[in-house]
Copies of this chain bind each other. A is one copy, B any other.
């Protein structure tokens, strides 16, 4: 059996980082271990601690992942802004940019802008395009993970079935992975800050509302990549006197139509406020505006109801809240907690933690970094490459 991948995984997870530890854990002979390490060193995936290269100060004789293996390019593209970063195998963020851009402008314009911004990051870091080891990008819509294509997004005009991977690979000859943006945030939070739990629900409240699901320590995407679509749970129906609020997906009564950034903009503009974004609503509420505060409270309450459904169905250990509407708005989170606990069975919530994102706006790029590293260092992939 090829065991390069197993050896690399032991080094990556730090379960065994010396020749003798690797021999003990795997039961492989001294000569086999030596051969595996030699191939991994040749490939520049790992380095020895005394080589002076990204060793985190460990003594000689220890092996670790090699930051010089190649750059990772990661993108977290939201509805109205995107964050791009140059990261490494050891999860270091070397350079990072945020750009205001409406995803509605379509894939041609958006991907041209992304390519340009990524090239600028590489130029600044003095890295050649050929040294890019992998790219991962999150998009604010349902993504079919195997093909990296957006599938019938409720927003994102023009993106349906667009060849995103192929477009990025025109510029970079390396693996490119596309996923839903909130999936990447969930993964980032889980891996970076909460590896002690196995079941996590991440909810993003920004311009739109979405969720990412970790169960048994794995990101769950569902059959077609649309798992976690909490924003379009139909929480209201028409009554004899009042129709349910229209949603941008074309239906009525969705959670997003009552609780998202875009729907709060609609509500507050009807009340005469000149707000145009989730950020503006948060600023208005921080200035003490009673209508903005009440809008955020109502939003938290509706989200709490939808989250009670997710909590009953998924039984997570922790619910992590992120996104613009959450940042710094206690009213929204307080109303969320109150409704969630009131609407759930005690069993589902007695050990449940509700927490604010540790990573904030970096959750997406950290998740993207983990995702591409998982792909690049997958033991089976390594065995195919090195055997």
Taking Cβ atoms with an 8 Å cutoff, the residues of A that contact B are 1-2, 26-28, 142, 151-152, 154, 197-199, 211, 213, 215-216, 218, 220-230, 232-234, 249, 251, 305, 308-310, 312-317, 343, 345-348, 350-352
Instruction: Please pick, from B26, B199, B230, the residue contacting A312 in the complex, using a CB distance under 8 A.
Output: B230
Nearest chain-B residue to A234 (Cβ)? B343
**A234 to B343 alpha-carbon distance, docked (Å):** 6
Q: Indicate if the CB atoms of B197 and A317 lie closer than 8 Å.
A: no
Q: Indicate if the CB atoms of B152 and A347 lie closer than 8 Å.
A: yes
Q: Indicate if the CB atoms of B152 and A346 lie closer than 8 Å.
A: yes
**Which residues of chain B have C-beta atoms less than 8 A from A142's C-beta?**
347
**A309 to B215 alpha-carbon distance, docked (Å):** 18
A-B contact pairs, 24 of them (CB 8 A): A1-B27, A1-B28, A197-B223, A199-B223, A213-B314, A215-B222, A215-B227, A216-B218, A220-B314, A222-B315, A224-B347, A226-B315, A226-B347, A227-B314, A228-B315, A229-B315, A229-B345, A229-B347, A232-B345, A233-B313, A234-B305, A251-B345, A313-B313, A313-B314
**A351 to B312 alpha-carbon distance, docked (Å):** 25
Copies of this chain, tallied across the complex: 2
**Which residues of chain B have C-beta atoms less than 8 A from A314's C-beta?**
213, 220, 222, 227, 313
**A230 to B168 alpha-carbon distance, docked (Å):** 42
**A346 to B226 alpha-carbon distance, docked (Å):** 11
**A309 to B316 alpha-carbon distance, docked (Å):** 16
**Which residues of chain B have C-beta atoms less than 8 A from A225's C-beta?**
315
Given contacts A223-B197, A343-B234, contact A309 B315 (CB under 8 A): no
Q: Which of A220, A233, A308, A345 has the most CB of B within 10 A?
A: A345
Closest Cβ of chain B: how far from A33's Cβ, in Å?
12
Nearest chain-B residue to A231 (Cβ)? B312
**Which residues of chain B have C-beta atoms less than 8 A from A350's C-beta?**
152
Q: Indicate if the CB atoms of A226 and B151 lie closer than 8 Å.
A: no
**A351 to B348 alpha-carbon distance, docked (Å):** 31
19 new A-B contacts at CB < 8 Å, known A225-B315, A229-B345, A233-B313: A1-B26, A142-B347, A152-B350, A154-B347, A198-B223, A215-B220, A215-B222, A216-B220, A223-B315, A224-B317, A226-B348, A227-B314, A227-B315, A229-B315, A233-B308, A233-B312, A234-B305, A309-B313, A313-B314
Given contacts A1-B26, A308-B234, contact A222 B345 (CB under 8 A): no
Q: Indicate if the CB atoms of B313 and A230 lie closer than 8 Å.
A: yes
Closest Cβ of chain B: how far from A156's Cβ, in Å?
12
